[in-house]
Chains A and B, each alone.
Chain A
């Protein structure tokens, strides 16, 4: 119970905005799928189309194989948690949670029992008599969850349910939602703009950008094998360094030159990015992960070594961010000509730098020339025109 499919779903608003463009994906039964992307990329619209709160312009959405395009929200048997919680202000917690049961004409002992169960699961049994205005943000969040689970719907839809909580509570509730979903095994589609939330919660994560699905994969895959420049720049914190680079035939085979620095392209790289083989002499977009840089010791080979000056060091405690001078032009997904793959996520400065995340034990000083080792298997190559990975 609870398979959701998007088939070529398009949403165009009356004002001409295309909020969602040819969305295609399936959510498996019991899966926790996260829709992530920057604000305005069409996440909420997609979710609301599943709920029946927004008409589907073209394409189909099915739940358990049944096309739901023309069903009212009531007929879809889904539950939704809103960003603002949307608790009914004139009803107390018990009445709020019982509301879906009341609408389903379930009453008496059964209603009481199920409300009590839901309240128990969410640890709000002692709040049943209170009104929403008498609750803290976290408690309201729980009540909203309670209202969603009490009816045992086919699918949970959650639209940024944690974004109104403070950072600490957000982490706690994130854990609880994860637990709850695993216990209930109810198919869940969860929307967030926060990539950390997406990566920690999702069985699979769908990255959206300007109404277009960029990649749908497990968190590990998204991180290890981003399919587009946008995904590469969106997932990971700090995000991947992306810059203009050139593939060259070097003395020891293929190498990639970015500004004055070069790194070798080894066999592992080529097996991951076979198209790079034929790119010698061509421009590409190179991606390097901050956490794949290490201070070079004697053993590191020449091909995986770069030397540059340190611009800035940010000590974060368990790790440090080291900003390295670079004269290679940085790329944001906005510099990719073929839309839709856009927006300057990380055009943070005009100074050309590459960020490395290093262990804090042996840190270089600002202005110092350092030798760094890069894990060559973690190089990423993208087509500069389409923004797609050169696989």
Chain B
């Protein structure tokens, strides 16, 4: 017994010595790739931000990352542009419209796929995922023709419908998995406790699915907000143009390359997205399901 204990204590001590030496090295191994990753992703963003705070004339003369005399001039000019305001409003309408419609259609569809066995269920599920595989460029022309035919060309509502169609596969796919992971017994308990099926979905399934619903909402919002090709194909006037398209147009419209305003515009375009991400991350991380059933 006694030698054994001594032996194991020695081992422990040796381990501690070893890990003390390994400490700094390990830190480098962990931090170096992380630092590189952050620089890699943040670098262009920082440069863009830097340029957006400069006067157009200083972009090349003042090459430092932190401008010598920073100005909000470019932002003011961006916001003043009627094109920007219209496009911002269109983006908001189309992104939220698509998000809401995606949830309104996706939640019942995913619930049915998750909870009911019906004939052709599997095939239908596969089929609903198919659009994810088709490249968007391949859809541009057919959708354009369709839009013209049904009178949906240059219409925000038509775009909301198109985006929802694009978003649904991913939404349904995510939600089906999530719904299936919720124990059926919770709904059965609710039924016995006097809930109608609709009430059970509203009071049990949806609250438990908040992380998944938010994930879907964020993804849908982002897709709709950033979409470019389809906006290009389906719009013509400022009545329905969104921010990415407006940004693209502006590069021509400014004649001389006005880098600060372009970058200010780009940054203003992504700020809402970043705000949404920051708000929501907390909820998604919350493990709401723990303790449901042991």
Binding site for B on A (CB under 8 A): 51-53, 72-74, 78-80, 82, 84-90, 99-100, 102-104, 131-135, 137, 140, 147, 151, 157, 164
Which A residues are CB-close (under 8 A) to B252?
none
Q: Cα distance A89–B288 when bound, in Å? A: 7
Contact status A86-B188, CB under 8 Å: yes
Q: Cα distance A164–B294 when bound, in Å? A: 9
Residue among B191, B207, B290, B292 making CB contact with A74, cutoff 8 Å: B191
List 8 additional A-B contacts (Cβ < 8 Å) besides A103-B190, A103-B195.
A52-B192, A80-B189, A85-B293, A88-B189, A88-B190, A99-B193, A131-B291, A157-B192
Is B43's CB within 8 Å of the partner chain A? no
Residue among B192, B288, B289 making CB contact with A80, cutoff 8 Å: B192
Contact status B290-A89, CB under 8 Å: yes
Q: Cα distance A73–B204 when bound, in Å? A: 16
Is B3's CB within 8 Å of the partner chain A? no
Q: List 19 A-B contacts (CB under 8 A).
A: A73-B188, A74-B196, A80-B189, A82-B188, A82-B189, A84-B185, A84-B294, A86-B183, A86-B186, A87-B291, A88-B189, A89-B288, A89-B290, A100-B193, A102-B203, A132-B292, A133-B291, A135-B291, A151-B193
Q: Known: A73-B191, A82-B185. Contact between A88 and B204, CB under 8 A?
A: yes
Is B79's CB within 8 Å of the partner chain A? no
Contact status A87-B292, CB under 8 Å: yes
Q: Known: A103-B199, A133-B290. Contact between A86 and B185, CB under 8 A?
A: yes
Q: Cα distance A90–B287 when bound, in Å? A: 10
Contact status A53-B191, CB under 8 Å: yes
Is B233's CB within 8 Å of the partner chain A? no
Which A residues are CB-close (under 8 A) to B188?
51, 53, 73, 80, 82, 86
Contact status B192-A51, CB under 8 Å: yes
Contact status B195-A132, CB under 8 Å: no
Is B208's CB within 8 Å of the partner chain A? yes
Contact status A88-B291, CB under 8 Å: no
Residues B245-260 near A (CB distance < 8 A): none
Contact status A90-B191, CB under 8 Å: no
Is B24's CB within 8 Å of the partner chain A? no
Contact status A78-B291, CB under 8 Å: no
Name the CB-closest residue of B to A89. Answer: B292
Q: Cα distance A100–B190 when bound, in Å? A: 8
Contact status A88-B191, CB under 8 Å: no
Which B residues are CB-close (under 8 A) to A131?
291
Residues B144-194 near A (CB distance < 8 A): 183, 185-186, 188-194
Name the CB-closest residue of B to A157. Answer: B192
Contact size range, B: 20 to 34
Binding site for A on B (CB under 8 A): 183, 185-186, 188-196, 199, 203-204, 207-208, 288-294
The distance from the CB of A207 to the nearest CB of chain B, in whole angstroms, is 26
Q: Cα distance A151–B196 when bound, in Å? A: 16
Q: Known: A82-B189, A131-B291. Contact between A90 and B207, CB under 8 A?
A: yes
Which B residues are CB-close (under 8 A) to A72?
191, 196
Contact status B195-A84, CB under 8 Å: no
The distance from the CB of B193 to the nearest CB of chain A, in whole angstroms, is 4
Which A residues are CB-close (under 8 A) to B190?
88, 99, 103
The distance from the CB of A25 to the nearest CB of chain B, in whole angstroms, is 22
Name the CB-closest residue of B to A137. Answer: B294
Q: Cα distance A99–B200 when bound, in Å? A: 11
Which B residues are CB-close (under 8 A) to A88?
186, 189-190, 203-204, 292
Contact status A79-B291, CB under 8 Å: no
Q: Cα distance A188–B283 when bound, in Å? A: 41
Which A residues are CB-close (under 8 A) to B294?
84-85, 137, 140, 164
Contact status A103-B193, CB under 8 Å: yes
Name the CB-closest residue of A to B188. Answer: A53
Name the CB-closest residue of B to A90. Answer: B207
The distance from the CB of B206 to the nearest CB of chain A, in whole angstroms, is 10
* Pairs of residues from A and B, 7 with the lowest C-beta to C-beta distance, nearest first: A133-B291, A103-B194, A86-B189, A89-B292, A84-B293, A100-B193, A73-B191
Which A residues are CB-close (under 8 A) to B207?
90
Contact status B289-A89, CB under 8 Å: yes
Which A residues are CB-close (under 8 A) to B185?
82, 84, 86
The distance from the CB of B114 to the nearest CB of chain A, in whole angstroms, is 17
Contact status A90-B288, CB under 8 Å: yes
Contact status A104-B194, CB under 8 Å: yes
Q: Known: A82-B188, A86-B188, A90-B207. Contact between A134 and B291, CB under 8 A?
A: yes
Q: Cα distance A273–B64 when bound, in Å? A: 106
Name the CB-closest residue of A to B197. Answer: A72
Q: Cα distance A90–B209 when bound, in Å? A: 10
Name the CB-closest residue of A to B182. Answer: A89
Q: Cα distance A185–B208 when bound, in Å? A: 36
Name the CB-closest residue of A to B186. Answer: A86
The distance from the CB of B210 to the nearest CB of chain A, in whole angstroms, is 8
Which B residues are CB-close (under 8 A) to A51?
188, 192
Which A residues are CB-close (under 8 A) to B203?
88, 99, 102
The distance from the CB of A197 to the nearest CB of chain B, in whole angstroms, is 19
Q: Cα distance A103–B197 when bound, in Å? A: 11
Q: Cα distance A135–B195 when bound, in Å? A: 25
Name the CB-closest residue of A to B206. Answer: A90
Which B residues are CB-close (under 8 A) to A73?
188, 191-192, 194
Which A residues are CB-close (under 8 A) to B288?
89-90
Q: Cα distance A80–B199 when bound, in Å? A: 18
The distance from the CB of A40 to the nearest CB of chain B, in whole angstroms, is 18
The distance from the CB of B283 to the nearest CB of chain A, in whole angstroms, is 12
Which B residues are CB-close (under 8 A) to A89?
186, 208, 288-292
Contact status B192-A53, CB under 8 Å: yes
Residue among A79, A87, A132, A164 making CB contact with B192, cutoff 8 Å: A79
Which B residues are CB-close (under 8 A) to A137?
294
Contact status A147-B293, CB under 8 Å: no
Q: Cα distance A51–B199 when bound, in Å? A: 18
